[in-house]
Structure 1
């Protein structure tokens, strides 16, 4: 029986395989040697498609950005940003290694991430945000989605429990000398008793958008 030939090696195939390795084993496991073994090629052949490790990481981060669909064009600016950032957050949690890469904001940022950022800025500009307020709005929203994903991943990938937030809370409560911090203890106890409570991400996103809406109205009132 004839052996089925492997698909030709190209950049999309390299990035797809790298994403699969990172999803399954984390970024620490992703090396050119490991990726070459996954694809059945020598590591050196990968450099024809990605010039270095930094470009590889930028490429897989860009694949995640490409998973985020554009919002419905009929939506107003606030609903469009809410939809975009909820979907972005979902994508970052599907690929737990990615938020840390996005937080790095290296010069290797790929076209899908550039498209994402440009679209957010265009939405804000189209809504009438003046330049100084647009700058603050953009960075506040970007920091929220990436920062929350980094924190969520840090909790969800602790190796000590299936329900890491609950376990982290209960371990904290075992520390001696917490009597001096009653409000903090009450807060952590609540987390321990409600491990499935809704994420603060959507709550804070709504607060951000509400605040931006008010700030935009104030800026319009001053013109």
Structure 2
């Protein structure tokens, strides 16, 4: 699995196949089938390798800091393996390694005194952030390379969508950001994570529970 991860890190996930991996290892492709049944099983194992790099719980009595540290460790693992986001999203079921990660995260909430009810909703709120990435609804295409076309595009967008441009240009700048060239990807990730954890903590301090049918507590 580590050889497959290294191949994906070096050449991208599309380069990973049983044939290419066999070439990397200097064996015939059929030799790999003694270890994995097919490519899907290989991808499952690659995800396990990445998830295995996430920092385990350290017994921090502050559940919010412990969850934050673990999620940011997951993010660092994903940054080391950029292809992993795509593969994690494509998995049809969770492996024992993936379930161990989820179980440990849930255990951190519960050890901090959060109810099973609130923890259930907290895990939904975290969503893909527990794996170290954020699912973006509208990916941003790069602007044209030609300066004149780029300037014209920005001018047209500013005229038609002034509020979007105003907000987009108000953030910190990171040209390599996954959420657009005007966004600092790491800052945006931590900003959203802290909002979620602070909100969960507020509900915990208020002894919040899910409302019965017919309404929700505020």
Q: Does 1:194 align with 2:179?
A: no
Residue 60 of structure 2 is aligned with which of 74, 77, 101? 74
Residue in structure 2 matching 1:142, options 122, 127, 130: 127
Q: Which runs of 5 or more residues in structure 1 are unaligned?
A: 1-14, 162-166
Equivalent residue runs for 1:38-187 within 5 Å: 38-107=24-93, 109-146=94-131, 148-149=133-134, 173-174=153-154, 176=156, 178-187=158-167
RMSD over equivalenced CA pairs, Å: 3.0
Give the TM-score taking structure 2 as reference length: 0.77
Q: CA deviation at 1:122?
A: 1.1
* CA distance 1:51–1:203, shift in 2 (3 Å): same
Dislocated runs of 4+, deviation >6 Å: none
Partners of 1:37 and 1:189 lie apart in 2 by 47
1:34 maps to what in 2? 20
Give how far 1:129 is off: 2.5
Conserved? CA contact 1:19–1:60, under 8 Å: yes
> C-alpha distance in 2, partners of 1:67/1:143?
17
The residue aligned with 1:11 is none
Which string of whole-angstrom CA distances, capped at 9 and with x for unpartnered residues, describes residues 129-166 of structure 1? 33332111012223234473555xx77xx7x99xxxxx
CA contact under 8 A between 2:4 and 2:16: conserved in structure 1? yes
Measure how far apart 1:74 and its partner are: 3.2
Asked whether the equivalents of residues 69 and 87 of structure 1 are also in contact (C-alpha less than 8 Å), the reply is yes
CA contact (8 A) 2:48 2:97 kept: yes
More helix by share: 1
**Residue 20 of structure 1: SS of its match in structure 2?**
helix
CA separation in 1, counterparts of 2:72 and 2:152? 30
Q: Within 1, Cα distance between the matches of 2:46 and 2:133? A: 20
1:4-23 aligned within 5 A: 15-23=1-9
The runs of 5 or more residues in structure 2 that have no matched partner are 176-183, 211-218
Please, which moves more after superposition, 86-95 or 110-119?
A: 110-119
**Residue 214, structure 1, aligned to residue 202, structure 2:** yes
